[in-house]
Structure 1
Amino acid sequence: MTVRIEVTIGAPPDQVWRALRDPELIRRWHGWHFGEAGSGLDEEIRLIYVDHVPEEDPEGRVLVLQDSDRFTLHETADGGTLVRITRAPRGANPDWDAYYDDITEGWTAFLTQLRFGVERHGLAERRTVALTGALRDPAASMLDALGLGAVADLPVGSPYKAEAVPGDVLEGEVYAVAGHQRALTVAGFGDGLLLVGGRGGIGALLTLYGTPDDRFGDIEHRWTSWWETVKTPDDGAGAETEGPGQ
């Protein structure tokens, strides 16, 4: 079965193509910041999007990565862009087959972040807090753990307001629902984005814009401290944070 992941972005294909090929722009939507001054993310971007790209066609807007995942961009009737990732079939890289579903979840999350970053912020600089790993209770929902269980069944575009367990009152709308994931806008975090759920070791990804150092530090401390109390014992995963100005 062919696995495809799609997102439609309200921006022209040329602009979205640049977001896929310029490492400085890629770091504003792909993954999350980790390592000294985000150096871990920069190294990951270089490995995936620069050093090992077997096929690149700027005119046709086709990009094939080392693991044979294929990006194609298609202009929509209203001048936007449909981004489609066609995943390599299982078995194409046996070393990664055990992580196939996790990688699919990762691409799903990152395309949501790409769309949000382009449409809402023009791919401005961001800061991130990533809660990676899994809850100690395997039957628990990350939304419930965060105190956001009430949004689980809300459709895209629905407003919400809730007090999250880490101590913040969150307010915004349901931005996207994709697979196991829910993405919520967060007005109080500089029109930020909270992506919750999914698999692949992603508990929650919090993206903030225009947040002063002291406020970011406070948010980072509360969210990561809470996560340490509910996640599985440290197995190399944990809470990872970084961003411009860190």
Structure 2
Amino acid sequence: MTDTAIETRTVTVERDIAYPPEKIWRALTQPHLIEEWLMKADFKPVVDHRFRFSADWGGVDCQVLEVEPHRTLSYSWAGMGLESVVTWTLSATDTGTRLRMEQVGFKPDQQQAYFGAKAGWPRFFGNLEQLLARID
């Protein structure tokens, strides 16, 4: 039997952020905060919860896959032909938190989605850091 699995690519962004995991977790899981740095969403940090990210260009259908408060958040990300998974990992450090985001599942013929994510996620991280500086 041959392995017919398609080789996929991953977008990873990792940053050290000078805020505790609890504060970053709120920004990753509270809909009114998610909307400020990413997109409008009817998100709940509950496994199997289905939600949608919405923007002026359209939206992405998602389902929560894993929730470990202040440590790990994972959800499916399906839109415009892309079936992927986004996983956030928060690790406490001496100066705050190492925040890692991985989006896995870009197929070879999804160059536009892959390069869009490679360009987009660092911008979203910048928005997130600006939000964290403004909230208590």
Alignment TM-score, normalising by the size of structure 1:
0.38
Structure with higher Rg: it is 1
CA shift in 2, pair 1:98/1:2, >3 Å: closer
How far apart are residue 26 of structure 1 and its match? 0.9
Which of 78, 82, 85 lines up with 2:98 in the alignment? Answer: 82
Distance of 2:121 and 2:90 partners within structure 1: 15
How far apart are residue 59 of structure 1 and its match? 3.4
Which of 82, 86, 90 lines up with 1:73 in the alignment? Answer: 90
Matches within 5 A, 1:57-206: 57-59=67-69, 61-66=71-76, 67-78=84-95, 80-91=96-107, 96-119=110-133, 121-122=134-135
How far apart are residue 60 of structure 1 and its match? 6.2
How far apart are residue 71 of structure 1 and its match? 1.1
CA shift in 2, pair 1:60/1:15, >3 Å: closer
Q: Is 2:32 the partner of 1:24?
A: yes
Which has the higher relative contact order, 1 or 2, with Cα contacts under 8 A spaced 6 or more apart? 2
CA shift in 2, pair 1:43/1:63, >3 Å: closer
Distance of 1:6 and 1:14 partners within structure 2: 17
How far apart are residue 44 of structure 1 and its match? 8.4
Distance of 1:4 and 1:68 partners within structure 2: 12
Which consecutive residues of structure 2, in runs of 5 or more, have no partner in the other structure? 1-8, 44-50, 55-60, 77-83
How far apart are residue 5 of structure 1 and its match? 0.5
**Structure 1 or 2: more strand by fraction:** 2
Q: Is 2:65 the partner of 1:55?
A: yes
Count residues in correspondence: 109
Q: Is the 8 A contact 1:71 1:83 kept in 2?
A: yes
- Amino acid paired to 2:104: A
CA shift in 2, pair 1:114/1:43, >3 Å: closer
How far apart are residue 89 of structure 1 and its match? 3.9
Q: Is the 8 A contact 1:56 1:63 kept in 2?
A: yes
Distance of 1:44 and 1:57 partners within structure 2: 16
The residue aligned with 2:40 is 42
Q: Secondary structure at the residue paired with 2:106?
A: coil
Which consecutive residues of structure 1, in runs of 5 or more, have no partner in the other structure? 31-40, 124-246
Distance of 2:20 and 2:119 partners within structure 1: 25
- Residues 162-206 of structure 1: per-residue CA shift (max 9 Å, x gap): xxxxxxxxxxxxxxxxxxxxxxxxxxxxxxxxxxxxxxxxxxxxx
Q: Secondary structure at the residue paired with 2:122?
A: helix
